[in-house]
Amino acid sequence: MTGLVRISRFRSTDMNDVLAIEQICFPGEAFDEGLFNRFAAKWPELFLVARRGRRPIGYSLAEIEGREAELVSIAVAPGQRRRGLGEALLKATLRRLNRAGCGVCRLSVRTTNEAAIRLYEKHGFRPLRRLRNYYADGSEALRMKKELAPPVRR
């Protein structure tokens, strides 16, 4: 599945690679360095990077407000796709959200991104509604939601 890939928290030395992945995956609407720095400062445990060796090949971003979480982005470098990395990043993020006591996770995904929609549905996300003109190019997004299990007390 992920082979010699490791998922861990973002480090400042990852920034150039994360920005490059972002530009390739989201041309015309890529997040900038300032936004990534804000996530690293406010939600460091939810800014995850998939690495092959030391090199970042994917990342995920999430944020928490109260008991609700937003999966902001998952991106995998094009040459590394279809190897389970997006799923591994999603699972790692959901585990962290569960541990943080979140009750729900929401996300928005392009309606044309069928592979991502299937992945999210496989992991329990359900469609809520379509958001018209959500993206800069006028494309629609599908708003999705997953109820998270409460943390087990031992």
pLDDT (average), residues 52-66: 94
The answer as to whether 152 is a domain residue is no
pLDDT in tens, 61-74: 999 999 999 999 99
For residues 73 and 66, is the Cβ–Cβ distance under 8 A? no
Number of domains in the chain: 1
The answer as to whether 128 is a domain residue is yes
**Cα-Cα-Cα-Cα dihedral sign, residues 34, 37, 41, 43:** positive
Selection from 87, 89, 79, 17 nearest residue 47 by Cα: 89
CATH code assigned at 77: 3.40.630.30
Determine the structural domain holding residue 91 and report its residue range. Answer: 5-147
pLDDT (average), residues 93-103: 95
Token code pair at residue 116: 């991502």
The answer as to whether 142 is a domain residue is yes
The answer as to whether 82 is a domain residue is yes
Structure letter (DSSP) for residue 123: T
The answer as to whether 154 is a domain residue is no
**What's residue 152's pLDDT?**
60
pLDDT (average), residues 99-106: 95
Q: Predicted confidence band at 2 (pLDDT cuts at 50, 70, 90)?
A: very low
Q: Predicted confidence band at 3 (pLDDT cuts at 50, 70, 90)?
A: low
Side by side, which strands form the sheet with 141-147? 5-9, 47-52, 55-65, 68-76, 104-110, 141-147, 126-131
Q: Give the number of other Cβ atoms within 10 Å of residue 97's Cβ.
A: 24
The answer as to whether 34 is a domain residue is yes
pLDDT (average), residues 16-44: 95
Q: How many Å from the N-terminal Cα to the C-terminal Cα in the chain? A: 31
pLDDT (average), residues 52-59: 93
The answer as to whether 31 is a domain residue is yes
The answer as to whether 17 is a domain residue is yes
